[in-house]
Chains A and B, each alone.
Chain A
Amino acid sequence: MATERIIKVGRGETPSTAALAHLKQLLTSGHLDGLMIPMAMGGGRTFMHVLVTDPDALADADPFAPVMPVNGATSVSRLTKLEAPSGRIGVVLRPCEIAAAIELHKLLQVRLGDVVVIGVDCPGTISVKDHIDLVDAGKDPLSAVAEEPGLLREACMTCDWTRVQYHDMLLGTFGSDGKHVIVVSEDETLLGGLDKAPKGALEARESTIEKIEDIREKTTEAVEKEVDEHLQGPEGVAKHWETCIVCHNCMEQCPVCYCNECFFESQTFRYEGDKMMLWARNRGSLDMPTDKAMFHLGRMAHMVATCIGCGMCTQACPVGINVGRAFKYVASRVQPVYDYKAGRSVDDPLPQATYLEDELEPR
């Protein structure tokens, strides 16, 4: 049975510092042996996950960091794939990071049961570049977002994961007006010393979640409409990826692109010079490098059924292509075909790992 507790945000505290104090306590008391948590880098210009064992090293950590340079599931994979660390390691993850970790768990790249997943409510993140620009301009990123919600990444504004879908411990901030953090867990050792949640706190969180879901759905509809208008047909697709430099960064930063070496980067996709000449002759000219469309569509065929829509691909693109927009749009049309929603549950079998005898008859 899950128990709900509360962390009060005291005078001079923020939800971040209040929640951090509790996490620090868990580390100090030995209920956790390690904590993977976003940590301010470069004086707060950005945040990266750091694996902390010394409670005193947590000073610059922030469980609710407003920026996500790397999807944390990638780091959980690094931590657990070969062999999960012994002891209890808490990993602070946003819902989209949990979603990716769920997919990676099914792909044997993450051992989800071997870490303590600390899920956090996430109102959205700013792109790394915007975050750095704001900080460098002397502005507070959180206030800037409060003033201009459009600063959030598109993936966040259209996020499907408002409700933390899987956790060992939840740190909930929605509906609290910054006055408290709700903590939910089935594990009493993670709740030590916390007060019972007051009446109404959970209901307030729930109603906030519903409101946010509503807004995000509307934004999703608006984005999809744009895709319907612009990202359709060979011309639309070509235009979308027009400026692509085939650097494969989108793939490198995709949490569910988990291969050691991308198939589309391999020698298998290289052409002998004569064959390229032939192709060039037949077409009149040949874009170099040659495999742009093959890379994006091929990667889509490989992972769009497990795409969780975190938008890391867009953030990683050096030439500003909204890769995630296309992938999320296609994912939302491919996954339902398999009655699947990537990132929803560890119990849903991967679409390509199973089949039904009576389904999907060809036209």
Chain B
Amino acid sequence: MARIGVFVCHCGLNIAATVDVAKVVDRVSQHPDVVHAEDYIFMCSDPGQLLVQGRIQELGLDGLVMANCSPTLHEQTFRNAAALVGLNPYLVEIANIREAVSWPHMKEPERATEKAIEIILATVEKVRQNTELHTIKVPVTHSVMIIGGGVAGIQAALDCADAGLEVHLVERTSSIGGMMASLSETFPTLDCPQCILTPKMTQAGKHPNIRIHAYSEIEEVSGFVGNFQAKVRHKATYIDWSKCTGCGECMTVCPTKKIPSEYNHGMAKRTAVYIPFPQAVPNRAVIDDKNCLWHPKGKCGICAKKCPAEAIHYEDNTEIEELEIGAIIVATGMEVLPVEHFGEYGLGKIPDVVTGIQFERLLAPSGPTAGKVLRPSDGAEPKEIAFLQCIGSRDPANYKPYCSKVCCMYTGKQAMLYKHAVHDGQAFVFYIDIRSDGKGYEEFIQRAMEEEKVLYIRGKVSKVFEDEGKIVVWGTDTLTGKWIELRVDMVVLATAAVASSGVTELASKLRITTDEHGWLKEAHLKLKPVETLTAGIYLAGAAQFVKDITDTVAQASGAAAKAIALLSKDHLERVPIIACVDQDLCVGCGYCETFCAYGAIAVDPVTGKAEVNEGLCEGCGGCAAHCPSGAATLTNYGKKQVFDMITTFTNGQVVQ
């Protein structure tokens, strides 16, 4: 007979307001294997843990059922607490009576209580058959792969590299820099990216521990924490980068000049052979084979002739490189909703209606207008500009329900920078609420209003259309209730931020998940915001959700710290819940072998029996379910354990 202790947490009122904890304690105490049951207000608190540890020692408990919140939160807490007083941590199991009971059944306290009792009793059935397990040590690879070369990826790369880890920074465009490289100046300090980002880019490019895989994408990722294998596809550049010096001569001769520049978000054109911007790292040219005349027709060839380094060969130099990786940081960033949306605001129809990120390029000294604000249609200086916030954000009916978070601030900044460029200009900002909740942010907005005389109008715009060379904006001032008509020269839309394109496919390759809007899902929104549910894979920057640069850099350093901590040891301790095979029962049919995606179980040709490779087994339990003989089992998830849990649910509790 086992000596199991059951500890029922109130979680303040989170559990106790719905579940009758006293009744739970009374009922579970009647199980013949439960020698002790009690409840406490916060079991995860220090006194709570001390209480549990005390009971283990004084009663000689050989198994614990902790009835509280989801195991993702405190399974480790209680396992550690038990281990400290000599109880093997794998004899501790969680019965989730909060997320699975008290919260979703708030209106049915009696049935919730019954459900809680059954879940606890089923867990008792499992624990009484658990065996002591000891962690497995596996060697780790001291390298980090960072996906995405924006400011998040760069920061994480520098932190990891400085800590002595080998860093592979994978960027799908031909230069690192990301969205930040396209910005004009940054709020609230008005630093330009050239001043603050370019040095970091150069540093990353020159760091002895960082290898930048530019113009590359993730093909495949296998393996597990500490020992991932990644296949990285170096896309065809058609140019020998070992020879290319980045002189840019090719761009001056390329006859195909009218391709919208990605770096300039369509506000300028580029050539088919191109370096995205002068400060690119690496500073190397690529040929865009969708637009180059050589592809597929074999015509032109001028750039190759003119290239002083003789680097251009037009040959498909796609290459797949395999990397051994210990940890992965995903820093794929964000985009804004594309222009085909928002026809109601004239976007895509009226040339002088642009998105916020496009307007950045008109403000940027490095942009197509060299920092002069000139409207796209005729190059004239706009004297009046309307900025419209929350376009597609906070709009659950049509676009995205969430607040895109950075728009209030960059709109204020853009209005301010516009006033700096056009002193006699007037800026109008339509807003729902102003959210300026960062350090120095509110003061910054006040400055825009008071010093730069930007006119803020609380309200939403209903229609934007052209009339006699002007753009007419109709809206309502919700503070005064007055209907407003503005006739302006330009309109700037703060369109909703969304996760980068292709991130869903990437997530699938990494076996991490996205939320309903495509943002990468963190392990816990509050307590594990940089971890994912997949061990060894971390999130940095706006890939997780919209962030400004401050938060992005902070999270990037956080992710880097996690990776550094993970890889600071020579060995990782792995959860010992893996498959094992009863050699007497095994009939050697090989079903398990056909199941296993890791090649961790195989029939030994000499013995004719299946054997498990402990280093490779990930503990999914698939072989056990596939094995008709019941020879393969997953440790502590035995079939009898599951059957007894089922019996508790179908037939109730054994009463003494």
Contacts and interface: CB of A to CB of B under 8 A. Distances in A.
**Direct A/B contact, Cβ within 8 angstroms:** yes
B629 A261 contact: yes
A339 B591 CA distance: 19
B311 interface: no
Using C-beta atoms within 8 Å of the partner chain, give the interface range for chain B: 20 to 34
B589 A267 contact: no
With a 10 A CB-CB cut-off, give which of A82, A109, A260, A279 has the most chain B CB atoms.
Answer: A260
B401 interface: no
A146 to B, nearest CB: 41
B589 A278 contact: no
Nearest to A262: B629
Interface in A15-50: none
Nearest to A302: B628
Nearest to A104: B589
B639 interface: yes
Nearest to A353: B594
Contacts of B628: 259, 263, 302-303
Nearest to B641: A268
B640 A107 contact: no
A108 B588 contact: yes
A263 B586 CA distance: 11
A269 B629 CA distance: 12
B590 interface: yes
Interface in A343-363: 350, 352-354
Interface in B575-624: 584-591, 594, 603, 608
B587 A353 contact: no
Contacts of A350: 591, 594
A275 interface: yes
B594 A274 contact: no
Interface string A237-273: 0000000000000000000001111010011110110
A2 B643 CA distance: 54
A268 B639 contact: yes
A296 interface: no
A88 interface: no
Interface stretch (B163-171, B418-426, B646-654): B646-654
B652 A109 contact: no
A334 to B, nearest CB: 15
Contact of B654 (A81, A260, A267, A274): A274
Contacts of A86: none
Contacts of B32: 274
B589 A266 contact: no
A285 interface: no
B584 A107 contact: no
A135 to B, nearest CB: 36
Nearest to A278: B651
B251 to A, nearest CB: 43
B626 interface: yes
Main SS of chain B's interface residues? loop
B142 to A, nearest CB: 35
Interface string B316-356: 00000000000000000000000000000000000000000
A279 B653 CA distance: 10
A268 B640 contact: yes
Nearest to A82: B608
B630 interface: yes
Given A260-B585, A263-B629, A352 B591 contact: yes
A108 B594 contact: no
A109 B587 contact: yes
A260 B640 contact: no
B587 A259 contact: yes
Given A261-B629, A268-B640, A275-B647, A352 B594 contact: yes
B27 to A, nearest CB: 15
A267 B633 CA distance: 14
Nearest to A266: B630
Given A81-B608, A108-B603, A282-B652, A258 B647 contact: no
Nearest to B633: A268
A107 B643 CA distance: 27
A264 to B, nearest CB: 9
B609 to A, nearest CB: 10
A271 B586 CA distance: 23
Contacts of B647: 271, 275, 278-279
Contacts of A258: 587, 589
Nearest to B626: A352
Interface in A38-66: none
Contacts of A108: 588-590, 603, 608
Contact of A261 (B585, B589, B652): B585
Nearest to B652: A278
Interface in A100-150: 107-109
Contacts of B588: 108-109
A260 B584 contact: yes
A281 B522 CA distance: 47
Nearest to B630: A263
Contacts of B591: 107, 350, 352-353
Contacts of A271: 647
Contacts of A81: 608
Contacts of A352: 591, 594, 626
With a 10 A CB-CB cut-off, give which of B32, B586, B630 has the most chain A CB atoms.
Answer: B630
Contacts of B654: 272, 274-275, 278
Contacts of B603: 108
A305 to B, nearest CB: 11
A105 to B, nearest CB: 11
Interface string B496-524: 00000000000000000000000000000
Contacts of A279: 647, 651
A354 B594 contact: yes
Given A268-B639, A302-B628, A350-B594, A275 B651 contact: yes
Interface string A61-99: 000000000000000000001100000000000000000
A107 B630 contact: no
A62 to B, nearest CB: 32
Interface in A268-311: 268-269, 271-272, 274-275, 278-279, 282, 302-303
Contacts of B651: 275, 278-279, 282
Nearest to A107: B589
Contacts of B638: 268
A354 B597 CA distance: 11
Given A274-B654, A275-B647, A278-B651, A109 B589 contact: yes
Contacts of A260: 584-587, 629
Interface in B28-51: 32
B602 to A, nearest CB: 11
A270 to B, nearest CB: 9
B17 to A, nearest CB: 31
Nearest to B639: A268
Contacts of A263: 628-630
Contacts of B652: 278, 282
Given A260-B629, A263-B629, A107 B590 contact: yes
A109 B638 CA distance: 26
8 contacts: A82-B608, A263-B629, A267-B640, A268-B639, A272-B654, A278-B654, A352-B594, A353-B590
Given A259-B629, A278-B653, A354-B594, 5 more contacts: A107-B589, A268-B638, A274-B32, A350-B594, A353-B594
Interface of B: 32, 584-591, 594, 603, 608, 626, 628-630, 638-640, 643-644, 647, 651-654
Interface of A: 81-82, 107-109, 258-261, 263, 266-269, 271-272, 274-275, 278-279, 282, 302-303, 350, 352-354
